[in-house]
A and B are shown apart, each in its own frame.
Chain A
Amino acid sequence: MITTGFRQLFDRFNHGLWPCAIIIGHTLLGTFLVYSTPRSSLAFLALVSSFFSLYYFKADTRFKIVAGVLLALVVIPVVGVRNIFYLEVIFQICVFAALALGLNIVVGFAGLLDLGYVAFYAVGAYLWAFFGSQQFYVLHFAPGTQPSNLPFLLPGDAFYLFMFLAIIVAAITGVFLGLPVLRLRGDYLAIVTLGFGEVIRVLANNLDKPLNFTNGPQGITPIQRPTMPEPLVDSFNNVFGSLIGHQASIADMYNVMFYFLALAMIIVIIFVTRRIDDSKIGRAWTAVREDETAAIAMGIPLVRMKLAAFAMGASFAGVMGVLLAASRTFISPESFSFMQSIGVLTMVILGGSGSIPGAILGAATVTLLNLQILQGFSLYLSELRQSDAVIPLINFAWRDLSTQLDPAKYQRLLFGLILILMMIFRPGGLIPAKRRKRRLAGEEAVTEQ
């Protein structure tokens, strides 16, 4: 009932000039709130949520593009340099959204459950970590015993080249994994990919002998970044300096740059994904997902199509790996645990398997929950615990509340709950994928929910 009421309300405002007004209002409100209370999580949520106004309300496409560009290229960087935590959250949302989009191709489009997806992320990250650091000269040293004054193998600007290389290398890895295992049924595949993910992590952890490729558990650092032109920093400061309130440092500008790079990658990925989804390959994936036997009978080259899905998904993860290595300047095997694979899977499932906006929404929600909301609650509880406050009614002092109950400690529990509840109540996800029913030739394709 409430939903219907809300929908009516939504419809009432979703025509004419209302959408534009709401979008502008929402964005301005968000910006204003973040500006006036620079550390409030809720204000930040208000700002981030304006992307969803932008997505849901019907407005002129040109207006939407202009608003989106302004929001993403001006408001977020300015706000983000004022409070670098916001930029980090947005950056991680972008990285995970790209990963979720990649996994979405494998799981959502082709219906292959991949539980070791971060392996490809690791491949990309270690690719640049090896060539973009001093590691080449460390090959003959045991981890930790190398001298500290070694030269770098490649200049930092080779980073851009390696973003392309990572696409190829990760895609090859995807094919390499895919070839032997794609004959397997879905659930076998899940376990084998899980094993593969572990294999890559264990390799990263152990390839420090006989030749020290990965520096083992100690990880590789420092990893180079592309150069940052001085004039860019100056001009950014000239234009936005007064809005930000302080001079942006080079470190700040690197944050902005990696955010832009991640954003650009997402746009490319969305573009590619949408084109492919509408192509012959996309339809073949749908067929494979729905019924393999029927797909084979229709003459779809099963293995080729599955390999294509694996390679595509892998290459997206590979690029993001390079980006991660450069932005962190440090890489260790801990970043590529099974937990991360499950995290990305949770994002895809939560948002809606096979749905592009769903994957992004899923990534945003899980990342925000993980970095901001759960941590925020824990901090709040910890503040209460250090105060003399008492829970009214039951007269229970916050002080006595066990720290075992801190929400930030239960990330796994949360992921688990999300997966179970989504499967039971909403297997299509928050934004279910649009499924087209194709009619016979001549009839128009009908879009429905």
Chain B
Amino acid sequence: MFKHMSKVFSLFVAASMTVTACGLASAADSKAIKVATQSPLSGDQSVVGVDMKRGAELALEQLGKPLADMGFKVELAPFDDQANPDTGVANAKRIVSDPAILAIMGHYNSGVQIPSSEVYHTSGLANVSPANTNPKVTTRGYMEINRIVGRDDVQGVVGADFALGLGAKTVFVLHDKTAYGQGIAEFFKKRADEIGMKVLGFEGTEEKANFDALLSPILAGNPDLVYFGGMYSQAAVLFKQARERGYAGTFLSDDGFDSSDASKIAGQTLIDGGGSYYSTVSGPASVYAGTAKFIADFKAKYNSDPQPFAAQGYDSMAIILKAIENAAKAADGAVPTRAAVAQAVRELKNFPGITGTFTFNQIGDPTVAKYFVLKVNSADPAKWSKNSIVKTLDIAPPQQ
């Protein structure tokens, strides 16, 4: 027994010795600035989380120059929230306890962003969210919390209105049982009921592969349109299977569908029948020249196509960098305070990003969210960026 105890103990003694040995005086550069990111870098949601971080990394690399010229050394501090609220909150506290960190780009899951941002709020740390669409993110009215994506209660409505415009009379609404997908789908359904479409069914599923069971009620009702709130990795598989079973209507999804992998999975089935559409806030290359360059740069650096929200990660970081620059200028070149940075984020006017032009309203939503509805034009994943815009909408989010 004692032998074991001593081994364990020796570890701790060794640890404490190392402390004294290292000293670890973080002799911080007086003009060092860090920007943190939080997203799931491990687990099954890392596919999106990692690319969100990479988007931010790329933005720092490309847009960090003005700050570098002012003599600042800007570093990225990437954190892994593991899509887990406990880890997210712990990281948040670690982030706010580092005075060099002036802002945070983050969170993929609203379920992590909401508790973590309570911490940012109490410490006055500016947070720009690239992906959280839950209305609660901003409706709490925190000064520090902003997002550059549209809200569920807007995008769902956009989808329903568009479906009506296509002439759909009956719809089947599906979602992926995540805060994101269900959030959009609930508002789609609500709006569809309001504007007189017949909602044949409303179902959520965590299933990722076998949609046979779900397809039976869909095919039995043969709706004009199938709406899916969620990510492409589920939606594309579902659409493919539906088409294979003879469904000839139209597919509609949200901005989680905006990935060339969707056509890698579903291929020709997206074009057949009534075709496939998706609503997105991230403009295609034809509208925002920056997008094409972003995709090319991203591919050159990371050797893979950007996943959904990578471009939003880029833009969030760009906004943060610009705000820090503005705040630093106001402080005569000194390192700005967190409050000043948070203020500067809110005060940005018409910031030109690659996914839109951003001005924040008093609760941190973009004043006008520009929504596009795109049609999938080709079964070839390489031509995903050639998908055509069929509708553009400018919608102001609710003010509360």
Contacts and interface: CB of A to CB of B under 8 A. Distances in A.
B317 to A, nearest CB: 14
Nearest to B110: A218
A145 B25 contact: no
Interface stretch (A68-76, A229-237, A297-305, A427-435): A427-435
A378 B80 contact: yes
Contacts of A87: 93
Interface in B110-146: 110-112, 114-115, 118-119, 122, 134-136, 139
Interface string A39-70: 11011011001001100100000000000000
B156 to A, nearest CB: 9
A410 interface: yes
Interface in B1-52: 1-10, 12-13, 15-16, 18-20, 22-26, 41-43, 46, 50
B190 interface: yes
Interface string A332-344: 1011010110000
A145 B114 contact: no
Contact of A143 (B16, B50, B86, B186): B186
B114 A88 contact: no
A218 B182 contact: yes
Contacts of A218: 110-111, 134, 136, 179, 182-183
A142 B190 contact: yes
Contact of A411 (B82, B135, B179, B400): B82
A219 B113 CA distance: 12
A361 interface: yes
A408 B85 contact: no
Contacts of A88: 89-90, 93-94
B4 A430 contact: yes
Interface stretch (A26-34, A131-139, A173-181, A276-284): A26-34
B109 interface: yes
A260 B265 CA distance: 52
Contact of A339 (B3, B25, B43): B43
Contacts of A89: 90
A431 B19 contact: no
Contacts of B15: 42, 45-46, 49
Given A29-B16, A30-B16, A84-B97, A328 B85 contact: yes
B77 interface: yes
Of A86, A334, A403, chain B has the most CB atoms within 10 Å of the CB of: A334
Main secondary structure of the interface of B (DSSP, over half): helix
Contact of A39 (B1, B8, B16, B98): B98
A330 B26 contact: no
B75 interface: yes
A49 B122 contact: no
B84 interface: yes
B150 interface: no
A6 B110 contact: no
A127 B351 CA distance: 45
Contacts of A328: 85, 89, 115
B187 interface: yes
A378 B39 CA distance: 14
Of B8, B50, B189, chain A has the most CB atoms within 10 Å of the CB of: B8
B241 interface: no
Interface in A205-242: 205-206, 208, 216-219, 221
A386 B75 contact: yes
B58 to A, nearest CB: 12
A430 B8 contact: yes
B76 interface: yes
A6 B12 CA distance: 13
A275 interface: no
A332 B152 CA distance: 18
B91 interface: yes
A375 B46 CA distance: 15
Interface string A351-376: 00000000001000000001100010
Contacts of A216: 177, 179, 182, 204
Contacts of A395: none
B362 interface: no
Contacts of B172: none
A103 to B, nearest CB: 17
Nearest to A337: B84
Contacts of B13: 49
B122 to A, nearest CB: 4
A375 B75 contact: no
A87 B97 CA distance: 11
A334 B85 contact: yes
Contacts of A337: 84
B18 A329 contact: no
B81 to A, nearest CB: 10
B239 interface: no
A30 B190 CA distance: 58
Contacts of A378: 41, 78, 80
Contacts of A86: 97
Contact of B84 (A56, A142, A206, A334): A334
Contacts of A15: none
10 contacts: A46-B16, A92-B90, A142-B186, A145-B187, A216-B179, A335-B85, A371-B90, A379-B79, A403-B54, A411-B43
Interface of B: 1-10, 12-13, 15-16, 18-20, 22-26, 41-43, 46, 50, 54, 75-80, 82-87, 89-91, 93-94, 96-98, 109-112, 114-115, 118-119, 122, 134-136, 139, 152-153, 177-179, 182-183, 186-187, 189-190, 204, 206, 400
Interface of A: 3, 6-7, 10, 26, 29-30, 33, 37-40, 42-43, 45-46, 49, 52-53, 56, 83-89, 92, 142-145, 148, 202, 205-206, 208, 216-219, 221, 249, 251, 328-330, 332, 334-335, 337, 339-340, 361, 370-371, 375, 378-379, 382-383, 386, 403, 406, 408-412, 430-432, 434, 448-449
Given A52-B8, A143-B183, A206-B177, 4 more contacts: A7-B3, A86-B97, A218-B182, A375-B94
Listed from nearest, the 8 A-B pairs whose CB atoms lie closest are: A49-B12, A449-B1, A332-B111, A46-B16, A409-B42, A85-B93, A85-B94, A42-B19
